Amino acid sequence: QDHDRWYSNHMVWNTATLNAPDQLRQRVAWALSSIFVVSGNSISRTEQVESWATYYDIFVAHAFNDFKTILKSVAFNPLMAEMLTFKGSKSLAYQVERNGVLLYPDENFAREIMQLFSIGLFMLNEDGTKVVDESTGEHIPTYTNSDVVNFSRGWTNFVDRQDQRDNIEAEWDL
């Protein structure tokens, strides 16, 4: 039967994952990929299966590593850079000097890395309940917008320098 390449790659992934001798590693990789999600809806390279396999390989390779190593590998991956829009983000100084406009760096990844991938929105007690400020009765946030702005400065000038390989997944009209 003729299948599209995604179906074929899912078949290969299922076979490799379900028959792998390192089942704990495979299950941890799957769990990590469910936390550090990239979506084809936000990425232009949906037809390039190799890019997606490389992204998933981060979790297989680092399944038992520390969180910092995993987060660094995810952060420097071109798929995450495109999905959370920090690819091509420029610093405020660059925008002013080159374009004469007051345009701040993209804050999307800086916010998501804190909100979704690490510390969350609110400080927590040891039992997982939210910490409440006794003077205001409000939940205490883990970061401010100023933190996001400062963090976003570090995620500027990233570009996808990986050359497209023209021998991968070519569409053939025979």
Alpha-carbon 39 to chain mean position = 10
Q: What percent of the chain has pLDDT over 70?
A: 75
pLDDT of the residue at 2: 52
Q: Cβ–Cβ contacts within 10 Å for residue 62, how many?
A: 20
- pTM for this one? 0.71
Distances (CA, A) of 94 to 106, 149, 174: 13, 16, 48
Q: How buried is 3 (Cβ within 10 angstroms: 0-12 exposed, 13-18 middle, 19+ buried)?
A: exposed
With a cut of 80, say whether residue 98 has pLDDT above it.
yes
Higher pLDDT residue, 152 or 45?
152
For residue 166, what are its two tokens? 């023209």
pLDDT higher than 60, residue 169: no
HSE of 98, CA atoms in CB hemisphere, 13 A: 7
Mean pLDDT of 99-106: 78
* CB 164 within 8 Å of CB 114: no
The pLDDT value recorded for residue 160 is 56
